[in-house]
Amino acid sequence: MATGAPSSFGAVTALRRVGRIVATIALLVVGPAAVVLVASGAASLVAVALAIALGSWLLWPELSRSHAVGVVVGATALAGVAGLIGFSAAYNLVTSHDLCGEDGGSFGDAWSIPAALVYLAGGAAAFTTPRRVLWGWPLAVLIGFAVLVGWAALFLRGGTCET
Question: Which tens digit of pLDDT belongs to each residue from 82-132?
Answer: 988 988 888 888 777 777 666 555 555 545 788 888 999 999 999 989 999
Q: Is residue 139 part of a domain?
A: yes
How many structural domains compose the chain? 1
Residue 4, sorted as left (phi over 0), alpha (psi -120 to 50) or beta, turns out to be left
Write the DSSP symbol of residue 60. -
Could you tell me if residue 132 is inside a domain? yes
Contact 60, 71 (CB under 8 A): yes
**Where does residue 90 rank: exposed (0-12), middle (13-18), buried (19+ CB within 10 A)?**
buried
pLDDT over 70 at 54, yes or no: yes
Q: Is the pLDDT of residue 1 over 60?
A: no
Q: Which domain holds residue 29?
A: 11-155
Q: What is the pLDDT of residues 61-74, one digit of tens each?
A: 889 989 999 999 89
136 is a domain residue: yes
Q: What percentage of the chain exceeds 90 in pLDDT? A: 23
Establish if 161 belongs to a structural domain.
Answer: no
The answer to whether residue 1 sits within a structural domain is: no
Average model confidence (pLDDT) for the chain? 80
